[in-house]
Structure 1
Amino acid sequence: MENAFQVDLRGVVDLLSRHLYSSPRVYLRELLQNGADAITARRALDPAAPARVRIEVSPGTIGVHDSGIGLTEDEVHTLLATIGRSSKRDELGFARHEFLGQFGIGLLSGFLVADEIQVETRSARGGQAVGWTGRDDGTYRVEPATREETGTTVTLRVRPGADEWVSEATVTDLARLYGSLLPIEVTVNGRRTTEPALPWAKADESPAERRHRLLEYGRQTFGFTPFDVLDLDVPGAGLTGVAFILPAGAGPGVRAAHRVYLKRMLLTERAEGLLPEWAFFARCVVDAGELRPTASREALYEDDLLEHVREQLGRQVRDWLVRLAETDPAALRGFLRLHALGVKALALHDDDLLRLVDGWLEYETSDGPMTLAQFRTRHPRGRFTTSVEEFRQLSAVCQAQGVALVNGGYVYDGDILRGLARLDARIEPLDPAELTTRLAPVDPAAELAARPFLAAAARALEPLGCEAVLRDYDPASLPALYVTSRAADQAAELRQAREEADELWADVLGALERTAERPRLVLNHRNPLVRRLAGLDPELAATAVEALYGMALLHGHHPLRPADTAALNRSFLGLLDWAVK
């Protein structure tokens, strides 16, 4: 035996209000949507039919009158009394794209603010006018009505406690919010709330006047005066609109809030995912004819068409950047000062934007700020570091040795500098071990005299996995330089793994470690302190070398292992003990 589901309407309304819709205010959007779709259906039969939605607000009630196609008595029974069934579907049940509504639950949203809904309707296809009254307890009645003109009137009897949502001021604001761009006349108590044309539509005005008008529209919409504005157009999705560039820097973690209209009805003020993630510096207002909404009509449905739109809009923002470089270099520099991070993210995968970064974006170098193109021209054999700490530690030393450096330690910079190879504009990364070979050797006589000191330094650094070398280099104010390499870093990881492994694996890793390269503490013979240390008692000299080792680690922002911390503490206490004797 087959049975029909029994629906608890109060439960359905509670589900809508708590889990589908974000706020009761959407009731007016749904009523506007139904009216707009009814007008669309009537104009398909009669293009000259009137296109009006009249909203009348009075204490305790709100009435929405439309000049749409209306419903017959059979349609009233079929559509208004069946949850989830929509008149806006074809014979196979698919939503028809010319209508705003798709899910057959729009009228139910009226129960978010009312305990009774009355509908009076007369169909353009003939027949008598019909009245339908539904209550939030799930009951309804159908009876003849006296309406003479074609169309539909929906009247809500406001429930106690919902008055704030149906006051004249609130209804006017909601009508402007959701329906200001609808291509029909919408009035609230006689005051029109719709605009005659889309704000970004071409008008009889100069480009400068249009730009000024759009910038003002962006200020009113988003609350900031945009840096620039650009047109958006994706014909495959029936999408047009504008993007406004933020006038101040914004991090990539900030969620972009775009304003999206579907067939000129507001979908949401906080749409996400409309632009690629790298374009976090833009805010859009768009109207689309073919994108799909979610059931709540408060977000876009993620599908292949939305992915195509995202790709096309990203390409248009990218083309705007390229045009800016060609037509207004000063504006481009201003933009890059604000939004360099987004451009860098795009440049990782786009050669044209990589050329823009190469030629226009300034980087920190050992010679001061300059573009990468300028850096390559001045220093054909320049290098870049992969961390900010390494740049700060080695910049002065490298400059003294004739090696120019670019700081590639910030987000995306290292990948961009490596990506320059795609443009045949390579800048090689710096291997700190290479720097050691550029530092001048010490005079042979001085090195011979310093052998006892170097032997003491070697004994002090041996437990720390580091070697001591003596060189003669600038700046003379720097007593020691901790220099590692990729191979030495791998050896350090190997040593740490051996310390944490069991006995068998510790022996295996220990055999590998004995052949591995080690980092170096490069002592500067030009530094007066180092020359004085060379003449000290070997035990005291070893303690001083431990102190220099710890200082060099801290100066280079290298991580301190427990053994490094212990050596630093030991050297401090040792030198303090020696000082007070």
Structure 2
Amino acid sequence: MEQVFQVDLRGVVDLLSHHLYGSPRVYLRELLQNAVDAITARRGSDADAPAEVRIETPDRTEDGSIRVHDTGIGLTESEVHTFLATIGRSAKRDELGFARHEFLGQFGIGLLSCFLVADEAQVLTRSAKGGPTVRWIGYADGRYRVERAAEERAEPGTTVILVPRRDMRQWVTQRTVLELAALFGTLLPFPVTVDGESITAPGLPWRTAYPTPADRQVALTRYAEDTFGFTPFAAFDITCAESGLTGVAFVLPQAANPAAKTGHRVYLKRMLLAENVTGLLPDWAFFLRCVVDTTELRPTASREALYEDDLLEATREAIGAQIRDWLVELSTSNPAGLAEFLHIHDLGVKALALHDDDMLRLVDQWLPVETNAGRIPLAEFRRRFGEVRYTPSVEEFRQLAAVSSAQGLGLVNGGYSYLTEILERLPALDPEIRVTRLDPAELATHFDLVDPATELALRPFLSTAQRCLDRLECEVALRTFDPPSLAALYLLDRDTQHRAELRATRAIADDLWADVLGAFDTDQGTDRPQLVLNHRNPLVRRICGVTDPRLVTTAVEALYSQALLLGQHPLRPIDIALLNRSFVGLLDWAVHDTEGES
């Protein structure tokens, strides 16, 4: 048998009025919204009807109440029963229940916000259709009553009367009401006054006419300073016809955190929706703060955020395209300005370049990146070196930058955010662009071989050095390369590094995981890391002339340890032990040699 839900009205009122909204301050926003919608409805049938919202604070009223008067369409007694006493019922929908475009409110719950600050709400209303003035009194526990008012309103419209609870009186003081009315209603198209003081502006700041573009820019800068508290790097207009959106985007003057959710000031039909609305712009546009007014985007029921739907997604895409167009235009009209912008907000532009070819071209042409030839744009780097070689980590770049430069090889540091992905996308712009990750072992092919006679004479030394490094699974090689100040270089190709990491993990894993990892260790290659000794280095040449095997072993171990440290390679326990032993050994040899001389 079908049953009807039993609704605890007191609980529903408490839920919606105390838990739907984020702060008691929204009570005034909801009252302003209802007043503006009532005026809009009346002007729909009478274009010359008066349009005014008057707010009286306890400073003006005798009973300590706050009163919001409007010259709107008002309600008849039957409409009062229908719309004020039914939660979720709104006069702002058509006969099929769909939201009507011209109204701010749609959900039929705005009046419940009164119970955030008061236990009782009175509504005095007289319909423009005719009839007497009706009084509706609602209580926070869900009760209400309707009666004919003892005093008739002089004209159609509505007055809402709230006597605040003792703990909520701070929300209805003249100063607070002025601040809230100015916050929510400054841009409303109808005059709004608080105790006779006007709080409405003459128009939307970004749609106001100015004598010159420079004057407009100055005015927008001042508006950003007053609204957001910063002087913008730049400001440009944003629009979306589909969502009826107009506004202005302000570029932050300092670097922003990409992980932080940037909030924007959003007006809905010129009523402030919220000061920190997220989701309006693409995630990569974290370097912007926007002020916009929209007629078509939908608010959530609490009117503190935008409803996520296809229209909002289309608006995001349209604004994203305009941000990109602004950056491209800046690159042609003001290259110095673009360079300054990139210096501040390179992360945002690089994030966009991962998905947008126009931004990728801009990054390629203008964004300086770290290379072993200095900080230069990628296009300039290709002009100098042709092929783009890069390292995927900052540590690897620091190890190989000087050596590769000495060999005439250009190297890009791809270890910073998004840069490796950007480098790998460059061929999408031009298939002729060659981008490769530098394999450290490749550097050895650019080193000069030692004179055959010299290498033959040094064979005993190299044999001793190789026996020393065999237990470390490392090969020794003698080459000549620049810079001469570098004594030794530890080179490890990617495949060898992968196998070494896999086997190191197996060594410390339990039996189960060791077996699992062993299934991946199918490559039985014999390639090992190389310790390349630089015969151009004076110290290496002196070590090559040592004949004592013990001293040769200690010296080679010291060179091996130094190469690991300079390359910022991870040290295994055996490497740490060797580092300590070689240091102590050399110290002991130096002390012993000094004692012998004395």
- Please indicate the TM-score interval, normalised by the length of the shorter structure: over 0.9
Q: Deviations over 1:287-346 (max 9, x none)?
A: 111111111111111111111111111110000000001111111111111111111111
Partner of 1:161: 167
In the TM superposition, residue 102 of structure 1 has moved relative to its aligned partner by 1.6
In the TM superposition, residue 556 of structure 1 has moved relative to its aligned partner by 1.4
Partner of 1:228: 234
In the TM superposition, residue 579 of structure 1 has moved relative to its aligned partner by 4.0
* 1:543 to 2:539 alignment: no
In the TM superposition, residue 129 of structure 1 has moved relative to its aligned partner by 1.5
Partner of 2:479: 471
**Pair 209,460 (structure 1): closer, same or farther in 2 beyond 3 Å:** same
In the TM superposition, residue 94 of structure 1 has moved relative to its aligned partner by 2.7
User: What is the root-mean-square deviation in Å for CA atoms of aligned residues?
Assistant: 2.2
Partner of 1:38: 38
Q: For 1:133, what is the secondary structure of its paired residue? A: strand
* 1:53 to 2:53 alignment: yes
**Pair 536,77 (structure 1): closer, same or farther in 2 beyond 3 Å:** farther
Q: Residues 442 and 525 of structure 1 are in contact (CA less than 8 Å); yes or no, is this contact kept in structure 2?
A: yes
**Pair 511,268 (structure 1): closer, same or farther in 2 beyond 3 Å:** closer
**Pair 152,555 (structure 1): closer, same or farther in 2 beyond 3 Å:** same
Distance 1:99 1:490 in 2: 63
Distance 1:107 1:19 in 2: 14
* 1:484 to 2:492 alignment: yes
Q: For 1:325, give the aligned amino acid.
A: S
Partner of 2:595: none
Distance 2:4 2:518 in 1: 74
Q: For 2:561, give the aligned amino acid.
A: G
**Pair 47,536 (structure 1): closer, same or farther in 2 beyond 3 Å:** farther
**Pair 512,566 (structure 1): closer, same or farther in 2 beyond 3 Å:** farther
In the TM superposition, residue 3 of structure 1 has moved relative to its aligned partner by 5.2
Distance 1:174 1:440 in 2: 77
Partner of 2:131: 127
* 1:446 to 2:469 alignment: no
Q: Deviations over 1:153-210 (max 9, x none)?
A: 0000111121110001110110010111111111101111111211111415221211
Q: Residues 448 and 481 of structure 2 are in contact (CA less than 8 Å); yes or no, is this contact kept in structure 1?
A: yes
In the TM superposition, residue 501 of structure 1 has moved relative to its aligned partner by 6.9
In the TM superposition, residue 49 of structure 1 has moved relative to its aligned partner by 1.2
Q: Deviations over 1:126-149 (max 9, x none)?
A: 222211111223222211122231
Partner of 1:426: 434
Q: For 1:533, what is the secondary structure of its paired residue? A: helix
Gaps of 5+ in 2: 593-598
Runs of 4+ in 1 over 6 A off after TM superposition: 506-511
Distance 1:421 1:248 in 2: 32
| Equivalent residue in structure 2 for 1:73, among 77, 86, 97 | 77
Q: For 1:27, give the aligned amino acid.
A: Y
Distance 2:86 2:519 in 1: 74
Q: For 1:571, what is the secondary structure of its paired residue? A: helix
* 1:140 to 2:144 alignment: yes
Distance 2:517 2:224 in 1: 68
* 1:358 to 2:364 alignment: yes
Q: For 2:121, what is the secondary structure of its paired residue? A: strand
Q: For 1:405, give the aligned amino acid.
A: L
Q: Deviations over 1:46-97 (max 9, x none)?
A: 1211111110112521000011111110111122122222222223333223
**Pair 512,76 (structure 1): closer, same or farther in 2 beyond 3 Å:** closer
Partner of 1:574: 585
Segment of structure 1 superposing worse, 523-532 or 328-337: 523-532
Matches within 5 A, 1:188-207: 188-207=194-213
Distance 2:113 2:293 in 1: 24
Partner of 2:93: 89
Percent of residue pairs bearing the same amino acid type: 62
Partner of 1:518: 528
Q: For 2:540, give the aligned amino acid.
A: V
In the TM superposition, residue 368 of structure 1 has moved relative to its aligned partner by 1.8
Gaps of 5+ in 1: none
Partner of 2:463: 455
Number of residue pairs matched?
580
Q: Residues 249 and 338 of structure 1 are in contact (CA less than 8 Å); yes or no, is this contact kept in structure 2?
A: yes
Distance 2:440 2:394 in 1: 14
Q: For 1:277, what is the secondary structure of its paired residue? A: coil
Distance 2:370 2:520 in 1: 41
In the TM superposition, residue 507 of structure 1 has moved relative to its aligned partner by 12
**Pair 107,526 (structure 1): closer, same or farther in 2 beyond 3 Å:** same
In the TM superposition, residue 530 of structure 1 has moved relative to its aligned partner by 1.9
Q: For 1:88, give the aligned amino acid.
A: K
Q: For 1:481, what is the secondary structure of its paired residue? A: strand
| Equivalent residue in structure 2 for 1:278, among 281, 284, 289 | 284
In the TM superposition, residue 483 of structure 1 has moved relative to its aligned partner by 1.1
Q: Deviations over 1:432-473 (max 9, x none)?
A: 111101111112222223223322332333333322111111
TM-score (norm 1): 0.95
Matches within 5 A, 1:393-404: 393-404=399-410
Segment of structure 1 superposing worse, 438-447 or 85-94: 85-94
Distance 1:349 1:201 in 2: 32
Q: Residues 185 and 272 of structure 2 are in contact (CA less than 8 Å); yes or no, is this contact kept in structure 1?
A: yes
Q: For 1:23, give the aligned amino acid.
A: S
Q: Residues 502 and 521 of structure 2 are in contact (CA less than 8 Å); yes or no, is this contact kept in structure 1?
A: no
Q: Residues 418 and 426 of structure 1 are in contact (CA less than 8 Å); yes or no, is this contact kept in structure 2?
A: no
Distance 1:220 1:158 in 2: 31
Q: For 1:355, what is the secondary structure of its paired residue? A: helix
Segment of structure 1 superposing worse, 175-184 or 140-149: 140-149
Segment of structure 1 superposing worse, 483-492 or 14-23: 14-23
Segment of structure 1 superposing worse, 27-36 or 110-119: 110-119
* 1:561 to 2:572 alignment: yes
**Pair 496,151 (structure 1): closer, same or farther in 2 beyond 3 Å:** same
Distance 1:173 1:50 in 2: 25
Q: For 1:551, give the aligned amino acid.
A: Q
In the TM superposition, residue 566 of structure 1 has moved relative to its aligned partner by 3.0
In the TM superposition, residue 268 of structure 1 has moved relative to its aligned partner by 0.8
Segment of structure 1 superposing worse, 488-497 or 415-424: 488-497
Distance 1:130 1:511 in 2: 85
Distance 1:430 1:273 in 2: 40
In the TM superposition, residue 508 of structure 1 has moved relative to its aligned partner by 6.5
Distance 1:194 1:105 in 2: 26
* 1:527 to 2:537 alignment: yes
Q: For 1:49, give the aligned amino acid.
A: A
**Pair 165,47 (structure 1): closer, same or farther in 2 beyond 3 Å:** same
Q: For 2:57, what is the secondary structure of its paired residue? A: strand
Distance 2:517 2:502 in 1: 12
Distance 1:506 1:16 in 2: 55
Segment of structure 1 superposing worse, 243-252 or 462-471: 462-471
Distance 1:363 1:436 in 2: 26
Q: Residues 388 and 434 of structure 2 are in contact (CA less than 8 Å); yes or no, is this contact kept in structure 1?
A: no
Distance 1:487 1:48 in 2: 81
Distance 2:520 2:342 in 1: 51
Q: For 1:5, give the aligned amino acid.
A: Q
Segment of structure 1 superposing worse, 547-556 or 342-351: 547-556
